[in-house]
Structure 1
Amino acid sequence: MKPQLILIAGPYRGGTDGDPVRIAENLRRLERAALGVYERGHMPMVGEWVSLPLARTAGSERIGDDISERFLYPAARRLIERCDAVLRIPGESRGADGDVELARKLGVPVYHRLDELPDVTFAVSAVHDSRSVPR
């Protein structure tokens, strides 16, 4: 199978009570999962990688303000329509649960563990095996 574009769905604000330190830790958890997806040969996507810069550019001053709300969930929804699969990582999150629900409605596969991801076969022209990420 060729590499898939896989959206990582999990808590961003969920379980944080708006605490910026806890929100940042949630983002790091999403990004650690993204690294695991990449190391398995796929291309990861985290919705906040798209929505946060868009919200900032539109004038958002903090997570949860009206401007950021225009981007956080809608960006993830648009991405799901473009992704080949969703990886739902653990943790309470209404947004991530909504992402999973939408993915299932669209027939997009939903995985819950990295070892569920399909194996990747790279094209002959692939110069570098992306699974050998330096540590």
Structure 2
Amino acid sequence: MQPAPVRITAEEMLSDNWYLLKKYSFDLQRRDGSWQAQTREVYDRGNGATILLYNRERRTVLLIRQFRMPTYVNDHSGYLIETAAGLLDNASPEERIRLEAEEETGYRVGAVEKVYEAFMSPGSVTERLHFFIGEYAPDDRIGAGGGLEEEGEDIEVLELGYQQALEMVRSGEIVDGKTIMLLQYLELRLMPPRRLTILVAASAADDCAAQLFEAGHNPVPSQWLGLPTCETNAAEEVVLNPGFQARALPRLQRCDGLLRTGGVCAGADALVLMAERLGLPIYRALQDIPRFNPA
């Protein structure tokens, strides 16, 4: 594509404290042939790279959580869940993203695949971001991660179930653009929908199980496994039993997620806590679970 018909008439440095903030005055030729004078402030922080690390067999992803001041001043908690990322700083995108991923997550990165590049905020920021994906295994962990303290980083490493991460996008818990883009790429290209095994901790569990079966999944009502149901008056007593977790944990580990609906139920809530610790997605409604339609 031919460069835009632009005549830069003035350039003013506004700040070079962190990166470069400049004010440009320019004439832009409109589609009707006329010229229009405009001004824009442009923030130049260099180009960057980001990567989504995933484990295909376990269906998990590695993300990080860190404080981001711009989100804090725009009505957000400030703590953003993201893919590992960093500025290139004169390195190649592939070289930089390997270093950043190891620095931030503590995992050594093997083969990486570049999937695309994109301008993330072209109205005001020059940055072009290079997007990568790469597989990881538990044995690839060589450190704690967390970033560099001298650069103000205090990063928490999160290993999440892939479906759980997608649910966090839908619920608004993950709101970072680059992370959403890579998770959706993974969903479309590498992690197609499949038949899920769902532990049902819900009122009207049999009804829910039947609907899950119709949607192409394998429902496992909690009462089939001798676990508490929302209709069981003795649910709290069962939870307090020392053998509860010993029975429930191995069963949950063989599931892809947990469906929790209905009212107050100590047993179901205990299963939710256990599923969260395992990184399993927690579904709160049947319609949140995508149908499985085998080809």
Same fold (TM over 0.5): yes
Bigger relative CO (Cα 8 Å, ≥ 6 apart): 1
C-alpha spacing 1:71/1:50, structure 2 compared with 1 (3 Å) = farther
SS in structure 1 of the partner of residue 259 of structure 2: strand
TM-score (normalised: structure 1): 0.59
Alignment match, 2:213: 38
Q: Which residue of structure 2 lines up, in the alignment, with residue 17 of structure 1?
A: none
1:104 aligns with 2:276: yes
Q: Name the structure 1 match of 2:258.
A: 86
**Structure richer in strand, relative to its length:** 2
Residue in 1 that maps onto 2:267: 95
User: The residue matched to 2:226 in structure 1 has which SS?
Assistant: helix
Displacement, 1:37?
Answer: 1.0
Unaligned ranges ≥5, structure 2: 1-192, 228-233
Which residue of structure 1 lines up, in the alignment, with residue 285 of structure 2?
113
Is contact 1:8–1:33 with CA below 8 Å preserved after alignment?
yes
Give the helix-richer structure, 1 or 2. 1
Report if aligned partners of 1:47, 1:76 keep a CA contact under 8 Å in 2: no
Aligned with 2:224 (options 49, 54, 58): 49
Matched, 1:9 2:201: yes
Any gaps of 5 or more consecutive residues in structure 1?
A: 11-25, 53-62, 125-135
Q: Deviation string for 1:31-74 (max 9, x for gaps)? A: 1111111111111001211228xxxxxxxxxx7899xx577664
Question: Residue 213 of structure 2: SS of its match in structure 1?
Answer: helix
Q: 1:76 to 1:33 in 2, by over 3 A?
A: farther
Task: Name the amino acid aligned to 2:267.
Answer: G
1:103-130 residue CA offsets vs partner (Å, 9 max, x unmatched) = 11111001011110023131x5xxxxxx
Cα separation, 1, equivalents of 2:293 and 2:225? 28
- Structural RMSD (CA): 2.6
Q: How far, CA to CA, are the matches of 1:112 and 1:6 in structure 2? A: 12
| Aligned counterparts of 2:263 and 2:245: Cα–Cα separation in 1 | 17
Compared with structure 1, are the counterparts of its residues 31 and 71 closer, same or farther at alpha carbon in structure 2 (3 Å cutoff)?
farther
Question: Which amino acid in the other structure matches residue 105 of structure 1?
Answer: R
Residue type of the alignment partner of 2:291: D
| 2-structure distance, mates of 1:45, 1:81 | 13
User: Contact 1:8 / 1:45 at 8 angstroms: preserved in 2?
Assistant: yes
TM-score by length of structure 2 reads 0.29
Cα 1:46–1:76 shift into 2, 3 Å? farther
1-structure distance, mates of 2:273, 2:224? 21
Q: Deviations over 1:18-37 (max 9, x none)?
A: xxxxxxxx6xx111111111
Aligned residue type for 2:251: L
Structure having the higher Rg = 2
Shift of 1:81: 1.1
Q: 1:98 is matched by which residue type in structure 2?
A: A
